[in-house]
Amino acid sequence: MNCSHYHNLIYLKAELSEQDLLSLQQHLATCTSCAQLDAEVHLFQETINRIASQEIKPRNAAALTSSIMEAVHAQKSGTTIQRQVKVWIQENLLRYSLAALSLIQIVFFSLEFQNRRDPVAEQYSSSSNSVVILDSDMIHINPAERKQHTSGFADCKSPLIERRAYLECLKSKYSSTLL
Amino acid sequence: MDKDLEQALINQSANGDAIAFRRLVEDTQNFALSIAYKFLNNMTDAEDIVQEAYVRVWKNLHRYDPDFRFKTWLGKIITNLCLDTKKSSYRKMNIRAVDAATSRRVSDANETGKHLEHEELKEIIHQLAASLSEKQRTVFILRDLQQLEPEEVCRIVSMSEGNLKSNLYYARLKMKSLLEQYYSEKKRF
Ligand SMILES: [Zn+2]
């Protein structure tokens, strides 16, 4: 073994296995330069140990404990609230999701029902009130007029117009074309 | 503290017993503060980190691994917090360390007495340690300044024994050289 190997061991004396320590001591007994380094490192390590042995204490131990426990209590009440919210969600999730599902179904069916049995639509579904424009009626109108009338009908097609108003609009436009 | 008593207090604390937790805090806060102070070199910062560390401990008690000693686990939390908070400011400290060491030589030239010498030495070592790499600094603080057992340091920093020895070797080599340089320059003033 060369000296550089022992230099490494000198710096790690406190961490060496018994076998390595024995090997190092044997080398130190025969090598003056390594023995010199060993003395220096020993002095350095003693200085460090002196610093390390000085106890670090809080300025006020009781105050530090209190501040730690206050921080923990703040955390504790925070987590208690979070935990309560979690439990409430777990316990009520099924109940409320069923309620939401029922509500969605009610809304869905009522919309469906309204589509099928629109009283306004029913009112105009009788033949006397019908606004169905027959091809035969349109034939009597010349193409220029038809275009004008068509665009007139197109005025009624605003999605913003209420269904009843739309039907009234159509009816009035149709009546005007027949006059 | 007896291992069984420690485990009982941890179990009680995990079930929300604040009195049991307070006993754990009282028993270990000096140890926690000592590590934090050696990393941060400032008592106010160290106390803040210790407070934060115990909040983390409290929140994670249900995850505590009984194979670890409580102090080892606490040491790991403290070390990680110190490294996280100091990661950016250490670079600044690194530069300041040299300046502070130089200015101290002049201002302290007339100071005598063992206490002042000791305080100065402590300050200088903490400042010089700031110029080590993060791994070297961490093992130097835990092993040499806090004097923890090598196995404990390995567990705290999740490092193999070989890795620990290698980092310790370079840390001591550099610290010895920095300290010798500091004293040889001080003699000239
Ligand atoms: Zn040699």
* pLDDT tens, position by position, B99-117: 455 444 444 444 455 666 7
Q: Concatenated DSSP letters for B50-96? A: HHHHHHHHHHTGGG--TTS-HHHHHHHHHHHHHHHHHHHHHHHHHHH
For residue B103, tell me if it sits in a domain.
Answer: no
- Distance, CA B165 to ligand 1 centroid (Å)? 20
Residue in chain A closest to B23 (alpha carbons) equals: A65
For residue B180, tell me if it sits in a domain.
Answer: yes
Which of B21, B26, B165 shows the shortest C-beta gap to A15? Answer: B165
Torsion of CA A116, A119, A120, A125, to 10 degrees: 70
- Distance, CA B15 to ligand 1 centroid (Å)? 59
Identify whether residues B89 and B159 lie together within a single domain: no
Identify whether residues B92 and B1 lie together within a single domain: yes
Q: How far is CA B148 from the centre of its chain?
A: 10
Q: How many domains does chain B have?
A: 2
Domain termination residue (choose one: B96, B131, B159)? B96
For residue B101, tell me if it sits in a domain.
Answer: no
Identify whether residues B159 and B112 lie together within a single domain: yes
Confidence class for position B12, pLDDT limits 50, 70, 90: very high
Residue B141 has pLDDT above 60, yes or no: yes
B158: left (phi over 0), alpha (psi -120 to 50) or beta: left
Neighbours of B150 (CB within 10 A): 18
Domain termination residue (choose one: B69, B96, B123)? B96
User: What would the mean pLDDT of B43-57 be, rounded to a whole number?
Assistant: 96
pLDDT at B102: 44
- CA-based nearest residue to A70, from B47, B42, B46, B80: B47
Which positions in chain B touch A61 (Cβ < 8 Å)? 29-30
Cβ contact, residue pair B169, A76, below 8 Å: no
Identify whether residues B157 and B79 lie together within a single domain: no
pLDDT at B117: 75
Confidence class for position B66, pLDDT limits 50, 70, 90: confident
What pTM value is reported for the model? Answer: 0.68
A48 touches chain B (CB under 8 A): yes
Residue A58 has pLDDT above 60, yes or no: yes
Identify whether residues B37 and B73 lie together within a single domain: yes
pLDDT at B103: 47
Domain termination residue (choose one: B96, B119, B141)? B96
Identify whether residues B115 and B148 lie together within a single domain: yes
Identify whether residues B89 and B127 lie together within a single domain: no
How far apart are the C-alpha atoms of B15 and B147, rounded to whole Å? 33
Instruction: Measure in Å the smallest separation between the Cα of A30 and chain B Cα atoms.
Output: 23
At A128-138, the pLDDT tens digits run 544 555 555 55
Full residue range of the structural domain in which residue B70 is found: 1-96
CATH code of B118's domain:
1.10.10.10
Identify whether residues B89 and B162 lie together within a single domain: no
Identify whether residues B112 and B92 lie together within a single domain: no
Identify whether residues B125 and B182 lie together within a single domain: yes
Residue in chain B closest to A64 (alpha carbons) equals: B47
- Distance, CA A19 to ligand 1 centroid (Å)? 17
Contact B5, B26 (CB under 8 A): no
Identify whether residues B6 and B90 lie together within a single domain: yes
CATH code of B57's domain:
1.10.1740.10
CA contacts within 13 A on the Cβ side of B162: 0
Instruction: Measure in Å the smallest separation between the Cα of B161 and chain A Cα atoms.
Output: 10
Identify whether residues B152 and B77 lie together within a single domain: no
At A79-103, the pLDDT tens digits run 556 666 666 676 677 788 888 888 8
Which of A46-60, A104-118, A130-144, B33-47 is predicted least confidently? A130-144
Confidence class for position B159, pLDDT limits 50, 70, 90: very high
User: What does DSSP assign to residue B131?
Assistant: T
Helix, strand, coil percentages for chain A (3-state, nearest 5): 80, 0, 20
